[in-house]
Amino acid sequence: MSELKPRKDLLDIESLELDEIEYVLGNAVPFKQLFQRSVKKVPTLRGKTVLNLFYEPSTRTSSSFEVAANRMSADVTNFSVSSSSITKGESLLDTIETLQAMQSDYIVIRHQAAGVPNIVAKHTGASVINAGDGYHAHPTQALLDTMTFREVHPDYAGKRIAIIGDVLHSRVARSTSTLFHKQGIEVGVLGPGALIPEGRPDFMRRFQSWEDVFDWKPHAIYLLRVQMERQEGQFFPSIAEYHKMYGMNSERLVSMRKLGAYLMHPGPVNRGVEVTDEAMGYEKSLISTQVENGIAVRMAVLHWLKPETQKE
């Protein structure tokens, strides 16, 4: 593999070169093997600092970055927006200037507005990692999803993934489908008409029913959470109706089993909406593996990015 160009920030999937994707996913494998050891730490980021800056709630991404940074021996600060001076009206750039003075090497940021990580990246020498911005992007989720799918399908090119649900409001769907497409994996989508974007990319095949989805013989079904917090207006009649039309229920589980398809979900899961308790126990669910791979991928991302604060 040729020498990679140094990269400071990870802001989206679109700008990633294939060799960069391979570099990150390739390095995530030995990082994951480390989890089997009694000592799960490497000294790679000793003396470096990672700032977790989450303006929106998160369980998986924030804790996964914290665990990843700890396993690389970095010092981690979790910045709590709800108890910070942001609640007193401090602007984003003033907050960044304050945090810059603390000389963090890596800033992991989640924000409700698309593009905020790009603004932060321009104003700091720290490496900025987008942990989800509005509807826009969630690049580490896409990388961990791809790692997870490639583990069960090492011959992944030409395989098929059906994404079901609220594609319109989903940064996960946007980033993950883009990365799957870059990997030669075919992507189809099913959801309420109002939640499937009009201007979706050409590579996203649209289905009208579960029957169409199963006829396509997907290798994985990727369920999305209905993002009520991002919906202004009514996109479907009711949650019960959504579950009936688009949820993974007993009947659809039988069809999945027949196909041998895997089940994926980025979390958090809304049981009784996009998935039943029974489906959560499906033997080919990759949901826990996605979480585990999230740590390995984030270690690989921290290892790869080069902050301008690093002089050596």
Q: Which residues form the interface with ligand CP (CB under 6 A)?
A: 58-61, 132, 141, 266-268
CB 56, min distance to ligand CP, A: 8
CA dihedral sign of residues 123, 124, 128, 133? negative
Measured distance between the N- and C-terminal CA atoms of the chain, rounded to whole angstroms: 23
The string of DSSP letters for 226-294 reads: --GGG--S-SSS-HHHHHHHHSB-HHHHHHHHHHT-EEE--S---BTTTB-HHHHT-TTB-HHHHHHHH
Q: Which is nearer to ligand CP, 108 or 214 (CB)?
A: 108
Q: Which is nearer to ligand CP, 25 or 264 (CB)?
A: 264
Tokens of 109: 């940021």
Dist CA 178 CA 201 (whole Å): 9
CB 126, min distance to ligand CP, A: 21
Q: Which is nearer to ligand CP, 214 or 290 (CB)?
A: 290
The string of DSSP letters for 67-122 reads: HHHHHTT-EEEEEEGGGSGGGGT--HHHHHHHHHHTT-SEEEEEESSTTHHHHHHH
Q: How far is CA 3 from CA 6, 7, 109, 179, 301, in A?
A: 9, 12, 28, 22, 16
CB 61, min distance to ligand CP, A: 3
Dist CA 100 CA 303 (whole Å): 21
Q: Which is nearer to ligand CP, 32 or 207 (CB)?
A: 32
CB 225, min distance to ligand CP, A: 9
Q: Which is nearer to ligand CP, 58 or 124 (CB)?
A: 58
Q: Which is nearer to ligand CP, 140 or 276 (CB)?
A: 140
Q: Which is nearer to ligand CP, 207 or 287 (CB)?
A: 287
Q: How many CA atoms lie within 13 A of 282 on its CB side?
A: 27
Q: What are residue 275's DSSP bridge partners?
A: 248, 271
Q: Which is nearer to ligand CP, 30 or 268 (CB)?
A: 268
CB 226, min distance to ligand CP, A: 14
CB 64, min distance to ligand CP, A: 8
Count of CB atoms situated within 10 Å of the CB of 91: 9
CB 143, min distance to ligand CP, A: 12
CB 284, min distance to ligand CP, A: 20
